[in-house]
Amino acid sequence: MTTKSRTPLFVSTLMTAMLATAASAQTQNPLAAARELYAAAAYDEALTMLNNLPANGMAVDADTAGLYRALCLFAVGRENEANGVIGGIIQNNPRYRPSADDAPPRIQAAFTTARRRLLPVIVQQEYANGKAAYDRQEYAIAARAFKQVLDDLSDADMSAAANQPPLADLRTLALGFYTLSDKAAAPPPAPVPAPAARRPIQSIYTGEEPDVIPPVVVRQKIPPFVGKVTSTRAGVVEVIINEIGTIDAARITVPLDPSYDERVLSAAKDWTYKPATVDGTPVKFLRRVRVILTQSQ
């Protein structure tokens, strides 16, 4: 009985899987497609796609793209190139750390080594940038740079270097300049608005002034005229209404009858009003009240 070799079948199956993966990659986001190719162990194809990312015009996560480029380079034994890619990622984004889901321990260790090597240089450059901004009196920019220096010096990968010269001295200088820059960059306190100018209150209003609300009658009883009126006549009594609505003074300006005028003045002393106001403030008001006598029938 003859046993046929299974090698051609295995190669055919593998080629079919790789072609299917490549075909899928053409229809996906390039970064997602590169990740699929990496997962399928198609490292060279993934590298080709990753290397072409800047030319395809699509926006991608540069840090993640760099990470997968490093993963592929490690997988094909190009460790020096992989470490160079990791260094470039840290130069562009010193705060970047790959997640444990994306990067195996070997890659995590490579990032830690690169950060310990590069962060001291990056921190000193950040400090120099902040000091230059401070000297230009660009205090907001300086404050951000010094704050970044302090944050980077607190990074776990910097714990050893940060406590030794020159970085230990740099921390003290950065803290001092950050305090000065932050204070200088703070906006000045808003000016306290001047109190609104109040309208000068004159002694007595007549209703001809703007924004004066005249008094409202509460009680204004005019006594009846005793006697015969031969013709219709009109008199005028002026009263000064004070700020609580009572009468300060009264006088007849157009008389009607001497005895009747006295009675009107006496009655006027008991008149009451809701006082006049200006901008909500009660004021004195001169009110002219017409007293009309009609002809007796």
Q: Is residue 21 part of a domain?
A: yes
Q: Is residue 29 part of a domain?
A: yes
**pLDDT tens for each residue of 144-164:** 998 888 888 888 888 788 888
Residue 295 above 80 pLDDT? no
Whether pTM > 0.95 for this model: the answer is no
Q: What is the pLDDT of residue 21?
A: 47
**Residue whose C-alpha is closest to residue 67's, from 42, 23, 101:** 101
Q: What is the pLDDT of residue 285?
A: 94
Lowest mean pLDDT among 11-25, 166-180, 215-229: 11-25
CA distance 23 to 241: 97
Q: Encoding tokens for residue 206?
A: 């007549």
Domain CATH code at residue 223: 3.30.2420
Verify that 160 and 216 share a domain, yes or no.
no
**pLDDT tens for each residue of 46-72:** 888 888 876 544 456 788 888 888 899
Q: Is residue 207 part of a domain?
A: no
CB 56 within 8 A of CB 29: no
Q: What is the pLDDT of residue 54?
A: 63
Q: Encoding tokens for residue 29?
A: 């986001």
Q: What is the pLDDT of residue 12?
A: 46
**How high does pLDDT run on average in the chain?**
82
The residue from 45, 80, 103 where one domain ends is 103
What is the per-residue burial (b if ≥16 Cβ within 10 Å, else e) of 194-211? eeeeeeeeeeebeeeeee
CA distance 201 to 118: 75
Q: Encoding tokens for residue 158?
A: 């910097």
Q: Is residue 204 part of a domain?
A: no
| Residue 243 domain boundaries | 212-293
Q: What is the pLDDT of residue 9?
A: 44
Confidence of residue 197 (pLDDT cuts 50, 70, 90): low
Verify that 85 and 21 share a domain, yes or no.
yes
Cis ω before 166 (30° cut-off from 0):
yes
38 alpha-carbon distance from chain centroid: 43
Backbone angles phi, psi at 20, to 5 degrees: -65, -40
Q: What is the pLDDT of residue 15?
A: 46
Residue 277 above 70 pLDDT? yes
Verify that 97 and 126 share a domain, yes or no.
no
- Kindly state the average pLDDT of the residues 167-186: 87
Q: How many domains does the chain have?
A: 3
Verify that 177 and 243 share a domain, yes or no.
no
